[in-house]
Amino acid sequence: MTADDRSAHALARLLAGMGTLHFLAPKPFDALVPRRLPGGPRAWTYASGAAELAVAAAVALPRTRRAGALAAAGLFAAVFPANIKMAHDWRHRSAPLKALAYGRLPAQLPLIGWALHTARAATPPSAK
């Protein structure tokens, strides 16, 4: 297994773990759903958890890795408003919690970069 394969599997595990948490402990994720979105927060929590699980499966499989990694980059970008909401909601909390909330904002960039690297490193479908 190459380093790129190990990296892709680590990305898939991260996505699968977070997707699973959306179903096992949805309440913290519900609080991150921007109020402007239609419907209830729990529906968005479950939908985003399902999306993470689907993207994780796509990244894990070499045949779908490129598309899955591009979807992961899009997903990481799409959840950025939730991180902004968390930072805003937690602005009056203790310093460690505030640091966690604000730290999530720039943390999206390396995740997007990781996903894009994984997409670039994936074997193109025409080469299989």
How far apart, in whole angstroms, are the C-alpha atoms of residue 40 and residue 33?
Answer: 9
Length of the chain: 128
Given the structure tokens 């993470």, which residue do they identify?
52
Q: What is the pTM of this model?
A: 0.88
pLDDT tens figures, 75-114: 999 999 889 999 999 999 999 999 999 998 999 999 999 9
Asked if residue 80 lies in contact with residue 108, where contact means CB atoms within 8 angstroms, the answer is yes
> Which are the contacts of 63, defined by CB distance < 8 A and separation ≥ 6?
125, 128
Radius of gyration over alpha carbons of the chain, in Å? Answer: 16
